[in-house]
């Protein structure tokens, strides 16, 4: 594929393809998820099917969408950021006025319809916890409760502000969330969790070998131990809170402790999650939120860069090329 033939649709489809390949559920789990969506669609009365998000029948990631723009548009240059809201769309327009010729704005965090459907990707966490040894019925019950909470929280947000701005400025906008987070999950699982590390200090040391975390550390946002002491034995290490939309249930930690989990690597954690982690004697290492998001985006964007597409970074995105 040459750069002239790579369109917004190509980029979108590549994101989904890479997301599925890195999905903690495996391809079989993804296919089952899509099948469940198909059944939900088919059960609807005909007059209600037109309101169903039919893109979810082929794309398992509701938080990843082309929000505005002709999918056939060729792409040579992308403006990429973690949060791309109305100010960033105005920035893209200003850069275009200065001759940058940006063909696509790519956001990591979802907005528009992708934000409205954020809670739908959280089912990934159910099967992830089951793989760690939590009975699937317990994992599902705890996650379903949290999913409803997130759905209620997202529902009143004015989702379409950036999309409307993109439309008025006529600048294509796309979001890539869970497919990028899946990249982080697999990268940390392979390079950290599967190593025979002794202490949680060793976990931080390994994280600090990753360029995105090195750069974040210089900005006072690098990896750190949030729960536990540096000399604590790490035990079984998992990247349990890296992908799956957003934070899961704070009630899961008792189950993870029973399943033999010693250390959790996460992007971030709310105070409730920190207290429950402490209560059940699980160590927690924070890799970093924006730096981890950058890692996932970089692993995806490297594939676009190989096709000759130029990447401009903004909105906290730390660009590191591995090409």
Residue 321 lies in a domain: no
Percent share of the chain, pLDDT over 70: 99
If asked whether residues 216 and 121 sit together in one domain, one would say: no
Residue 281 lies in a domain: yes
If asked whether residues 90 and 172 sit together in one domain, one would say: yes
- Residue 45: which residues within 8 A CB-CB, separation 6 or more? none
Tell me the pLDDT tens digit for each residue of 279-310: 999 999 999 999 999 999 999 999 999 999 99
If asked whether residues 159 and 194 sit together in one domain, one would say: no
Q: Are 178 and 61 spatial neighbours (Cβ–Cβ below 8 Å)? A: yes
Residue 72 to residue 180: CA distance in whole angstroms? 22
The pair of three-digit structure tokens given for residue 270, joined into one six-digit string: 């709310």
CA distance readout (Å), 31 to 47, 53, 130, 137, 242: 27, 17, 17, 20, 21
Summarize the confidence of residues 311-323 as an average pLDDT. 98
Tell me the pLDDT tens digit for each residue of 135-167: 999 999 999 999 999 999 999 999 999 999 999
Residue 217 lies in a domain: yes
If asked whether residues 227 and 159 sit together in one domain, one would say: no
Tell me the pLDDT tens digit for each residue of 235-254: 999 998 899 988 889 999 99
Q: In what helix (H) or strand (E) does residue 310 lie, and over which residues does it extend?
A: strand 310-314
Residue 323 lies in a domain: no
What are φ and ψ of residue 310, in 5° steps?
A: -90, 140
Residue 129 to residue 139: CA distance in whole angstroms? 6
- Residue 303: which residues within 8 A CB-CB, separation 6 or more? 14, 18
If asked whether residues 192 and 243 sit together in one domain, one would say: yes
If asked whether residues 161 and 244 sit together in one domain, one would say: no
If asked whether residues 192 and 285 sit together in one domain, one would say: yes
Q: Which residue has the tokens 């209560």?
A: 279
Instruction: Give the number of other CB atoms < 10 A from CB of residue 171.
Output: 21
What are φ and ψ of residue 17, in 5° steps?
A: -60, -45
Summarize the confidence of residues 205-233 as an average pLDDT. 97
Residue 62 to residue 19: CA distance in whole angstroms? 12
Q: How confident is the model at residue 1 (pLDDT cuts 50, 70, 90)?
A: very low
User: What single-letter DSSP state applies at residue 192?
Assistant: I
User: What DSSP string describes 233-286?
Assistant: B--EEEEEESSSSS---TTSHHHHHHTTEEEEEES---HHHHHHHHHTT-EEEE
Q: Are 195 and 206 spatial neighbours (Cβ–Cβ below 8 Å)? A: yes
Residue 319 lies in a domain: no
If asked whether residues 25 and 158 sit together in one domain, one would say: yes
Strands 224-227 and 283-286: antiparallel
Can you give the length of the chain in residues?
Answer: 323
Strands 173-175 and 104-107: parallel
Residue 322 lies in a domain: no
In terms of Cα–Cα distance, which of 231, 148, 237 is closest to 195? 237
The pair of three-digit structure tokens given for residue 225, joined into one six-digit string: 């131990």
The pair of three-digit structure tokens given for residue 68, joined into one six-digit string: 């505005």
Tell me the pLDDT tens digit for each residue of 14-71: 999 999 999 999 999 999 999 999 999 999 999 999 999 999 999 999 999 999 999 9
Q: How confident is the model at residue 3 (pLDDT cuts 50, 70, 90)?
A: very low
If asked whether residues 194 and 249 sit together in one domain, one would say: yes
**Virtual CA dihedral for 189, 191, 195, 201, nearest 10 degrees?**
-100
Tell me the pLDDT tens digit for each residue of 63-88: 999 999 999 999 999 999 999 999 99
Query: Residue 203 belongs to a domain with what CATH number?
Result: 3.40.1390
> What was the pLDDT predicted at 4?
54
Q: How confident is the model at residue 2 (pLDDT cuts 50, 70, 90)?
A: very low
Number of domains in the chain: 2
Residue 242's domain comprises 184-289
Tell me the pLDDT tens digit for each residue of 84-116: 999 999 999 999 999 999 999 999 999 999 999
Summarize the confidence of residues 197-211 as an average pLDDT. 98
Task: Tell me the three state secondary structure of residue 107.
Answer: strand
pTM score, whole prediction: 0.95
Instruction: Give the number of other CB atoms < 10 A from CB of residue 43.
Output: 9
If asked whether residues 64 and 204 sit together in one domain, one would say: no
Residue 320 lies in a domain: no
> What was the pLDDT predicted at 49?
94
Residue 107 lies in a domain: yes
| Class of residue 138 by CB neighbours under 10 A (exposed 0-12, middle 13-18, buried 19+) | middle
If asked whether residues 71 and 92 sit together in one domain, one would say: yes
Mean of the per-residue pLDDT values of the chain: 95
If asked whether residues 76 and 199 sit together in one domain, one would say: no
Strands 283-286 and 310-314: unpaired
């Amino acid at each position: 594929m040459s750069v002239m033939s790579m369109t917004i649709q190509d980029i979108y489809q590549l994101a989904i393809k890479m997301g599925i390949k890195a999905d903690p559920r495996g391809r079989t789990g993804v296919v089952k998820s899509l099948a469940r969506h198909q059944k939900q669609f088919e059960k609807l009365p005909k007059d209600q099917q037109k309101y169903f998000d039919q893109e979810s029948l082929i794309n398992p990631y509701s938080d990843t969408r082309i929000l505005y723009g002709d999918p056939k548009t060729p792409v040579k240059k992308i403006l990429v950021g973690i949060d791309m809201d109305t100010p960033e769309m105005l920035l893209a327009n200003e850069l275009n006025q200065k001759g940058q010729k940006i063909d696509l704005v790519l956001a990591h965090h979802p907005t528009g319809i992708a934000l409205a459907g954020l809670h739908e990707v959280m089912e990934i966490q159910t099967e992830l916890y089951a793989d760690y040894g939590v009975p699937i019925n317990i994992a599902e019950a705890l996650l379903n409760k949290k999913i409803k909470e997130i759905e209620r929280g997202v529902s009143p947000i004015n989702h379409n502000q950036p999309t409307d701005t993109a439309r008025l400025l006529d600048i294509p906008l796309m979001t890539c969330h869970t497919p990028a987070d899946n990249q982080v999950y697999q990268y940390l699982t392979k390079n950290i969790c599967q190593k025979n590390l002794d202490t949680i200090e060793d976990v931080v040391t390994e994280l600090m070998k990753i360029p995105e975390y090195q750069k974040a550390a210089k900005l006072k946002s690098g990896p750190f131990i949030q729960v536990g002491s540096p000399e604590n034995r790490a035990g079984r290490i998992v990247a349990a809170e890296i992908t799956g939309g957003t934070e899961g249930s704070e009630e899961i930690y008792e189950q993870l402790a029973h399943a033999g989990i010693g250390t959790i690597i996460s992007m971030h954690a709310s105070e409730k999650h920190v207290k429950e982690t402490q209560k059940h004697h699980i160590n927690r290492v924070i890799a970093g939120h924006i730096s981890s998001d950058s890692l996932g985006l970089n692993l995806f964007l490297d594939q676009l860069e190989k096709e000759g597409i130029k990447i401009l970074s903004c909105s906290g995105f730390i660009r590191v090329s591995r090409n």
